[in-house]
Every structure is written in structure tokens, then in C-alpha cells.
Amino acid sequence: MILATVYLDKKSLDLTTYSRKYYRELEVLKRDINEASSLKVKGKKRILLKKNDDIKEYIFTSDLKLEIKENSRKRETYIDNIWGEFTNEDNLIFVKTKIKNERIDYVFFKK
């Protein structure tokens, strides 16, 4: 009984650590979109952000990764095991993501 309880507590701790990492990374994406001076949605899988002199491109890949490309450097994996898309409708930017069974959507207003 005690061994089963310890195993379950360890598993729930791992899940919360996993979720915290994703939420932290998505908050950075959210902050970048809010602080961008200009942005452009390219298709449903790419968004190009310009902030000061920095240019960032976030890309949802077909192999369930969110990759980032900064200032024309090579792409680096930002988040693994994530599905997502960007859409732009009437100055509203929608970011839809799904991590395992959790769905996280953001809506931003940009002029």
C-alpha cells in the first residue's frame, strides 16, 4: 500500500513538472506576441514577429514540435510533443495549442 502511494505521488509530481515547463514556454510565446511591434501569420503553422531589431519566427512542425528561428539563425526546437496553429482574423491573433490532452488557446488583439 505504501509503495503504491509513493509511486502515484511521484507520477503526479512528474506530470505537474511537465505541465509547468509547457506553461512557462507558452508564456514566453505570449509575451513575445504582446510585445511585438509587428507580426505576420504565414499559413496556419508560422508566425513572424518583429520586436525592436530582433526578428523571431515560431513554427509548428508536422512532427509535433514548436521551433523558433531568431535573426536568420538555424531553427531550434522550442517545445516537443505539441500541436498548434496560428490564425489571424480581423486584427485578432489566435494561437491554438494542444499538449497531450490539455488544450490551451490564446487570443491577442493587434493593430
Condensed to tens digits (0 to 9), the pLDDT of residues 50-77 reads 988 889 999 999 898 888 898 878 888 8
Q: Could you give the number of structural domains in the chain?
A: 1
Position 74 scores a pLDDT of 83
User: What is the pTM for the complete model shown?
Assistant: 0.76
pLDDT tops 50 at residue 2: no
pLDDT tops 50 at residue 33: yes
pLDDT tops 80 at residue 12: no
Does residue 15 sit in helix, strand or coil?
Answer: helix
- Residue identified by cell 509513493 is 6
| Closest to 35 measured CA to CA, from 50, 56, 24, 48 | 50
**Which residue range(s) make up the domain with 89?**
2-109
Q: Say which amino acid occupies 65.
A: K
Does residue 23 sit in helix, strand or coil?
Answer: helix
Section 37-48 average pLDDT: 91
